[in-house]
């Protein structure tokens, strides 16, 4: 191999500012761009949730600055009932698509998947750049809905037809805002499909010498499995959004049946089915839950192993469990539709695979717990967030027992029980994985350490705060508290308002605690202490790069050679109790 | 937080959080379902409540066990620099077997028993002598219709809906004889201990019918008329609310279910038909 070819990466080192930081082909820069986008989206989504929580318990309180954002939706800063639902829709859409899909999967996956398999970049760097910028366009389209005619969309993040399909007759938020929502999601789907293809091609084709599939770390597997799920899921949501847009603007009737009288107008449609939208949406929507949580499972397992100084009881079993969950995720979408009017027999068909997901989820939890037994667990911000993840995963998981059973769903469907369930298992647990990943990989991404004291405070306050918010949701749901209400006026809801007040205080508190993280992130980026090359004494390839952050081609023109399974801990070696995957050293297990 | 303190702080915190979180579960399990659930006034609700209570107990045990073991192991094994690494007895194989046996059995049991509760509501058709009532949901009100003396509903003509003249269903009494004696009401009035067969019709967008005390929830799907049946057992007035996001007035879309004695119901029906 000539000197040239050794040094030639898939693309040359960028020199101009634009190529280096804006339209970069470097997967690491793109990963950071995704992270930044997710951060912007999570801040926006969280602020929306604060406004909603404040409005729910102090309906007449003016919220500073909101009157400026929407004179119609919040005259004088006081949120109207319809604006509440518009904020709710934007909150859900931002969080599910732009935070939970982007941060654990696209951001960390982009940055670390190529490095962990010893590649110089993604298989298709240009596609990768296009993926990010397409996602960015989708984000801008969605946010622009705040500033158009009748404001943001109002159909919830699930966009149920025909409410979302018939147009402005259905009320505020059903005009251009709802169309922008459909277009934004459609564009997002295109970006996600490109990204998934890229992840799959990269994993299969660009592994370095010695990096067999079985030597890939758990988290690499998690990103790989997630991209397979994502490829199928977004491929269904994309045409669904296209059909919805056509129903809205081109007079088609995919989701609109005949004879609808909306606001005294007979709708000029016939022959469509609202259930078709639900089937298409949830065929994407349920796997989407695993698109958010599988990367977090991978991140947490990877970080825990390093901090326990031992491999999991079996990290392969965790990988098999992730595959099983990915497979089952396509057989359960109907459990969102038990009460939708689909054939009641099919409810049972969807219920059993849903309950069966408990088995791989339990195996993983038992393996995490069993691996903690007898370990030498190091407590740091990253490992604490991993422990928090396990706790949340269990808490959010057990409530799935209830909702998986159609008989119980009759009572709990569309109550706060569901809101509590998915916020814990899909929202908070996945975000805990993202926090763990941030504290763990920050030294690699920036060359500096994050502040551990701030990190631990951030963890403890977040753990307390998120439980204080989302645990009571379940009990509100058991009391029959309906979700997506902008005010609680019904006789049976009024007595529950004190609980909502407590939750609002907890939400404001938890949100404020995130400022600690933001301060830590910004301060450590510029003033953090210099990071050693391998601060956590971890074995995988991202810690074998010649510098932090790694050079543009990751390994400085070298091709790393892999000699070991990913997690050689608890051994006697020249480096201590671990052996890098790239080290040719043969070791024996410490007695 | 030096030494093992970090692990101990986490362990104590997680145990406290788990115990506090489980208070309602424990109360529900040991003091009865009425601690967390509203009163049940239906004949089928008992099966649902029992299923929920069994699930609550099993979920509660799994939840507490996992959180307490997590706390215990972190307390015991965090920050023990230099000590040998012990393996959990049985290793991963034991975990997989335990999960398959216990969780598999639990899942099968819940699924089987729960299917029965579901079947009582959805597989059994309404009896032939059930009272037929049609419910219509539109932005943002429910209306109910009784067939009148002829026992037949008049046809619905969406274009004839005229709320100003109280023609909520779009009836055409001039040309449609069965429509002439139809009784329309803003409240669902039913006799106690008599089966009601409710026919659900959506006027505009999706809505849902939810009465928590009845343990009934069912979507109204535009273009797809669905039905459900129930027997209310207790005289009283209960709120009917919409649980499917239907537009700006969703939070305000409600009606009442009035359960009366058969005698009062007959009187009410008579007064309406006059």
Task: Note whether A487 contacts B252, CB cutoff 8 Å.
Answer: yes
- Where on the phi/psi map is residue A534: left (φ > 0), alpha (ψ -120 to 50), or beta? beta
Q: What is the residue whose two structure tokens read 């995704």?
A: A34
Nearest residue of chain B to residue A83 (CA atoms): B248
Q: Does A194 lie at the interface with B, CB-CB under 8 angstroms?
A: no
With bands split at pLDDT 50, 70 and 90, how would you rate the model's confidence at A350?
Answer: very high
- Residue identified by tokens 């996600």 is A192
> What's the rounded Cα separation, in Å, for the pair A89 and A156?
4
CB contact (8 A) between residue B74 and residue A475: no
Tokens for A559, please give them. 């091709």
pLDDT in tens, A131-164: 999 999 999 999 999 998 889 999 999 999 999 9
Q: pLDDT tens, B92-106?
A: 898 899 889 988 898
| Listed residue (B209, B213, B193, B233) closest to B33, CA to CA | B213
A349 interface with B at CB cutoff 8 Å: no
Determine the Cα–Cα distance for residues A52 and A85; give it in Å rounded to an integer. 9
Which residue in A350, A279, A336 sits closest to B115, CA to CA? A350
Please report residues of A whose CB lies closer than 8 A to that of B98: 366
pLDDT digits (tens, 9 = 90+) for A25-75: 999 999 999 999 999 999 999 999 999 999 999 999 999 989 988 888 999
What is the length of chain A? 591
Q: Are A410 and A442 in contact (CB under 8 A)?
A: no
Alpha-carbon Rg of chain B, whole angstroms?
Answer: 27
Q: For A397-446, write each residue's pLDDT tens digit.
A: 999 999 999 999 999 999 999 999 999 999 999 999 999 999 999 999 99
* Contact flag A480-B63 (C-beta cutoff 8 Å): no
CA distance A128 to A122: 7
**Token pair for residue A237?**
């949501």
Could you tell me if B178 and B153 are in contact, meaning their C-beta atoms sit under 8 angstroms apart?
yes
Any A CB within 8 A of B97 CB: no
DSSP string, A442-465: HHHHHSBPPPHHHHHHHHHHHHHH
Residues contacting A214, CB < 8 A, separation 6+: A316, A565
- A458 belongs to a structural domain: no
Domain residue spans of chain B: 5-122, 131-273
Q: How far is CA A551 from the centre of its chain?
A: 28
Cα within 13 Å of Cα(A329), Cβ side: 26
Contact A395 B21 (CB under 8 A): yes
Q: Is the dihedral of CA A258, A262, A264, A268 positive or negative?
A: negative
Q: How many Å apart are CA A307 and CA A291, to the nearest integer? A: 25
Which of B53, B248, B257 is the mutation pick for testing A, counting most A CBs within 10 A?
A: B248
> Considering CB atoms only, which of A373, A407, A485 is closest to B118?
A407
Facing residue for A162 by CB, picked from B104, B116, B222: B222
Enter the tokens of residue A346.
Answer: 């099919």
Enclosing domain of residue A79: 27-255
Nearest 5°: phi and psi at A574? -70, -20
pLDDT band at residue B84 under the 50/70/90 scheme: low
Token pair of A86 as six digits = 């518009």
State how many domains chain A has.
2
Q: A413–B78: do the CB atoms touch at under 8 Å?
A: no
Reading phi first (left if > 0) and then psi (alpha if -120 to 50, else beta), residue B170 is in left
Indicate the residue of B77, B96, B254 with minimum beta-carbon distance to A363. Answer: B96
Could you tell me if B32 lies within 8 Å of chain A, comparing CB atoms? no
User: Which of helix, strand or coil describes residue A27?
Assistant: helix
Q: What is the DSSP secondary structure assignment for residue A95, as one 8-state letter?
A: I
Taking a contact as any Cβ pair under 8 Å apart, which residues of chain B between 194 and 253 contact chain A? 203-206, 208, 210, 212, 215-219, 221-224, 226, 239, 241, 243-252
Q: Do A478 and B70 touch (CB under 8 A)?
A: no
Does a structural domain hold residue A166? yes
Cα–Cα dist B16/B26, whole Å: 15
Nearest residue, CB atoms, B204 vs list A262, A365, A395: A262
Across the interface, of A170, A372, A456, the residue whose CB is closest to B77 is A372
pLDDT value of residue B209: 97
Mean pLDDT taken over chain A: 94
Nearest CA in chain B to A156: B245
Residue from B89, B141, B127 nearest B246 by CA: B141
Q: Is the pLDDT of residue B79 over 90?
A: no
A278 to chain B, any CB pair closer than 8 A? The answer is no
Residues in chain B: 274
Q: What is the helix, strand, coil percentage profile of chain A, to 5?
A: 65, 5, 30
What CATH number does the domain containing A200 carry? 1.20.210.10
Cβ distance of B48 and A411 shorter than 8 Å: yes
Is any Cβ of chain B less than 8 angstroms from the Cβ of A475? yes
Give the separation between CA A50 and CA A507, rounded to whole angstroms: 7
* Whether A264 and B80 lie within 8 Å, measured CB to CB: no
Give the span between the Cα atoms of A34 and A40, in whole angstroms.
Answer: 10
Residue A217 within a domain: yes
**Contact present, A336 and A403 (Cβ < 8 Å):** no
Of the candidate CATH numbers 3.40.50.300, 3.40.640.10, 3.30.1490.20, 2.60.40.420, the domain formed by B131-273 belongs to 2.60.40.420
Question: What are the φ and ψ backbone dihedral angles of A228, each rounded to 5 degrees?
Answer: -65, -45
**B264: distance to nearest CA of chain A, Å?**
24
Q: Return the sign of the alpha-carbon dihedral for residues B92, B96, B102, B106.
A: positive
Q: Do residues B21 and A473 make contact, with C-beta atoms less than 8 angstroms apart? A: no
In this prediction, residue A589 carries a pLDDT of 55
* End-of-domain residue from the set A217, A232, A255: A255
- Which stretch of A237-241, A286-290, B100-104 has the lowest confidence by average pLDDT? B100-104
Query: What number is the average pLDDT over the span A551-560?
Result: 92
Give the residue-averaged pLDDT of B88-93.
Answer: 87
Considering A215, A236, A255, which residue would you say is the last residue of a domain?
Answer: A255
- A257 inside 8 A of chain B by CB: yes
Q: Which run of H or of E encompasses A382? A: helix A381-403
Q: Which two tokens stand for residue A265?
A: 């107008």
B52 interface with A at CB cutoff 8 Å: yes
Q: Kindly identify which residue of chain B lies nearest to residue A473, measuring between CA atoms.
A: B21
pLDDT at A34: 98
pLDDT tier at A591 (50, 70, 90 boundaries)? very low
A41 touching chain B per CB within 8 A: no
Q: Does the bond joining B256 to the residue before it have cis omega, within 30 degrees of 0? A: no
Is pLDDT larger for residue A87 or for residue B88? A87
Task: Give yes or no for A384 touching B (CB within 8 A).
Answer: yes
Within 8 A by CB and 6+ apart from A94, the residues are A41, A42, A44, A45, A48, A142
Supply the pLDDT for residue A12: 74
Residue at A85 is within a domain: yes
Output the CA–CA distances (angstroms, integers) from residue A526 to A26, A450, A457, A530, in the order listed: 22, 10, 21, 10
Q: Which of A56, A357, A362 should one mutate to test binding to chain B, selecting the residue with the greatest count of B CBs within 10 A?
A: A362
Per-residue pLDDT, averaged over B9-15, amounts to 97
| Assigned domain for A163 exists | yes
pLDDT for residue A7: 42
* Residue A585 counted as domain residue: yes
Global ipTM: 0.96
pLDDT-derived band of residue B1, with 50, 70 and 90 as boundaries? very low
**Mean pLDDT on A463-479:** 97
Q: Chain B residues with CB inside 8 Å of A405's CB?
A: 51, 55, 110-111, 114, 118
Token pair for B270: 């008579």
- Contact assignment for B78 to A379 by CB distance below 8 Å: yes
Closest residue, chain B, to A384 (C-alpha) = B10
C-beta separation of A177 from A112 below 8 A:
no
Query: How many whole angstroms separate alpha carbon A289 and alpha carbon A277?
Result: 18
Least confident range from A124-128, A294-298, B98-102, B244-248: namely B98-102
pTM, 2 dp:
0.96
Would you call B158 and A259 a contact, using CB atoms and an 8 Å cutoff? yes
The percentage of chain A sitting over the pLDDT mark of 70, rounded to a whole number, equals: 97
Residue after which a domain boundary falls, among A235, A255, A275: A255
Answer yes or no: are the C-beta atoms of B127 and A421 closer than 8 Å.
no
| Full DSSP string of A61-77 | ---TTHHHH-TTTSGGG
Range A90-97 average pLDDT: 97
Q: Which of A166, A259, A414 sits opposite B243 (nearest CB)?
A: A414
Hey, what are A527's tokens? 């003033």
Q: Cα–Cα distance between B53 and B31 in angstroms, integer?
A: 11
pLDDT > 90 in chain B, percent:
79
How many interchain CB pairs under 8 A, A with B? Answer: 312
Residue of B nearest to A485 (CA): B251
- Model confidence at B4, in pLDDT bands (50, 70, 90)? low
Residue A361 has what pLDDT? 96
**Model pLDDT, residue A1:** 34
CB contact under 8 A, B70 and A387: yes
Contact call for A408 and B47, based on CB within 8 A? no
| B window 109-128, beta carbon within 8 A of A | 110-111, 114-118, 121-123
CA B58 to the chain's CA centroid: 20
Considering CB atoms only, which of B114, B215, B246 is closest to A411? B215
CB B146 within 8 A of CB B211: no
3-state DSSP percent of chain B in helix, strand and coil, to 5: 45, 25, 30
DSSP secondary structure, A123-167, as one string: S-HHHHHHHHHHHHHHHHHHHHGGGSTT-S--STTTT-TTTTTS-
Angle at A280 between CA A277 and CA A286, to 5 degrees: 120
pLDDT at A143: 97
pLDDT of residue B112: 87
pLDDT of B113 reads: 85
Q: Contact A489/B251, CB-based, under 8 Å?
A: yes
pLDDT for res B66:
97
Domain membership flag for residue A496: no
């Amino acid at each position: 191999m000539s000197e040239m070819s050794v040094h030639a990466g898939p693309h040359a080192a960028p020199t101009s500012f634009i190529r280096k930081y804006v339209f970069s082909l470097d997967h690491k820069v793109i990963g950071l761009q995704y992270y930044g986008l997710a951060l912007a989206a999570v801040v926006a989504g969280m602020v929306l949730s604060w406004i909603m929580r404040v409005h729910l318990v102090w309906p007449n309180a003016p919220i500073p600055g909101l009157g400026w954002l929407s004179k119609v939706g919040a005259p004088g800063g006081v949120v109207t009932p319809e604006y509440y639902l518009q904020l709710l829709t934007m909150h859900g859409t931002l969080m599910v698509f732009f935070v939970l899909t982007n941060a654990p999967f696209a951001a960390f996956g982009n940055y670390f998947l190529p490095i962990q398999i010893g590649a110089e970049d993604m298989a298709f760097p240009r596609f990768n750049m296009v993926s990010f910028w397409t996602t960015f366009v989708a984000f801008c389209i969605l946010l622009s809905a705040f500033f158009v005619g009748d404001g943001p969309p109002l159909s919830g993040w699930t966009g149920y037809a025909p409410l979302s399909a018939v147009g402005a007759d259905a009320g505020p938020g059903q005009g251009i805002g709802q169309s922008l929502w459909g277009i934004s999601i459609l564009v997002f789907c295109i970006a996600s499909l490109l990204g998934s293809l890229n992840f799959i091609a990269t994993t299969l084709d660009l592994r370095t010498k010695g990096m067999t599939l079985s030597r890939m770390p758990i988290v690499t597997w998690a990103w790989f499995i997630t991209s397979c799920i994502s490829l199928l899921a977004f491929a269904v949501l994309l045409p669904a959004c296209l059909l919805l847009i056509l129903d809205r603007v081109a007079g088609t009737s995919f989701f609109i049946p005949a004879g609808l009288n909306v606001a005294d107008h007979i709708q000029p449609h016939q022959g469509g089915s609202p259930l078709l939208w639900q089937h298409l949406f949830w065929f994407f929507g349920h796997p989407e839950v695993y698109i958010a949580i599988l990367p977090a499972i991978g991140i947490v397992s990877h970080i825990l192993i390093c901090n326990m100084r031992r491999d999991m009881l079996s990290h392969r079993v965790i990988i098999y469990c992730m595959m099983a969950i990915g497979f089952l995720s396509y057989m359960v979408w109907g459990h969102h539709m038990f009460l939708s009017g689909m054939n009641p027999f099919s409810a049972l068909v969807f219920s059993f695979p849903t309950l069966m997901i408990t088995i791989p989820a339990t195996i993983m939890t038992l393996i995490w717990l069993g691996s903690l037994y007898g370990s030498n667990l190091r407590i740091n911000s990253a490992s604490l967030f991993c422990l928090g993840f396990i706790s949340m995963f269990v808490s959010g998981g057990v409530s799935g027992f209830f909702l998986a059973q159609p008989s119980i769903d009759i009572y709990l469907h569309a109550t706060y029980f569901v809101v509590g369930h998915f916020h814990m298992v899909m929202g908070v647990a996945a975000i805990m994985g993202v926090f763990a990943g941030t504290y763990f990989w920050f030294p690699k991404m920036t060359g500096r350490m994050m502040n551990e004291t701030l990190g631990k405070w951030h963890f403890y306050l977040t753990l307390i705060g998120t439980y204080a918010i989302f645990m009571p949701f379940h009990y509100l749901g058991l009391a029959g508290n309906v979700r997506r209400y902008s005010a609680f006026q019904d006789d049976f809801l009024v007595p529950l308002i004190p609980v909502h007040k407590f939750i609002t205080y907890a939400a404001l508190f938890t949100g404020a605690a995130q400022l600690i993280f933001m301060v830590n992130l910004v301060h450590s980026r510029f003033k953090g202490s210099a990071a050693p090359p391998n601060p956590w004494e971890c074995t995988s390839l991202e810690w074998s790069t010649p510098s932090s952050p790694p050079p543009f081609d990751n390994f400085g023109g070298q091709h790393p050679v892999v000699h070991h399974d990913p997690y050689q801990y608890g051994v006697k070696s020249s480096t201590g109790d671990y052996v890098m995957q790239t080290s040719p050293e043969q070791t024996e297990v410490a007695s | 937080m030096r030494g093992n303190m970090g692990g101990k702080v986490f362990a104590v915190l997680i145990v406290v959080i788990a115990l506090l979180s489980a208070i309602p579960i424990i109360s529900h399990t040991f003091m009865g379902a009425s601690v967390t659930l509203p009163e049940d006034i239906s004949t089928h609700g008992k099966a649902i409540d029992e299923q929920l209570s069994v699930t609550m107990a099993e979920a509660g045990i799994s939840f507490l066990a996992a959180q307490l073991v997590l706390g215990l192991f972190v307390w015991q094994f965090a920050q023990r620099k230099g000590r040998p690494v012990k393996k959990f007895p049985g290793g991963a194989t034991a975990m997989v077997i335990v999960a398959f046996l216990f969780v598999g059995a639990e899942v099968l049991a819940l699924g089987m028993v729960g299917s029965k509760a579901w079947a009582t509501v959805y597989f059994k058709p309404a009896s032939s002598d059930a009272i037929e009532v049609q419910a219509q949901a539109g932005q943002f009100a429910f209306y109910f219709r009784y067939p009148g003396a002829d026992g037949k509903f008049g046809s619905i003509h969406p274009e004839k809906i005229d709320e100003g003249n109280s023609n909520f269903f779009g009836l055409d009494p001039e040309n449609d004889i069965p429509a002439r004696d139809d009784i329309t009401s803003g409240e669902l009035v039913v006799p106690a201990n008599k089966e009601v067969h409710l026919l659900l019709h959506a006027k505009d967008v999706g809505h849902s019918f939810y009465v928590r005390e009845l343990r009934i929830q069912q979507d109204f799907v535009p273009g797809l008329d669905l039905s459900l049946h129930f027997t209310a057992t207790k005289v009283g007035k209960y709120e009917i609310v919409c649980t499917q996001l239907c537009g700006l007035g969703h939070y305000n879309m409600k009606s009442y279910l009035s359960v009366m004695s058969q005698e009062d119901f007959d009187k009410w029906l008579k007064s309406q038909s006059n």
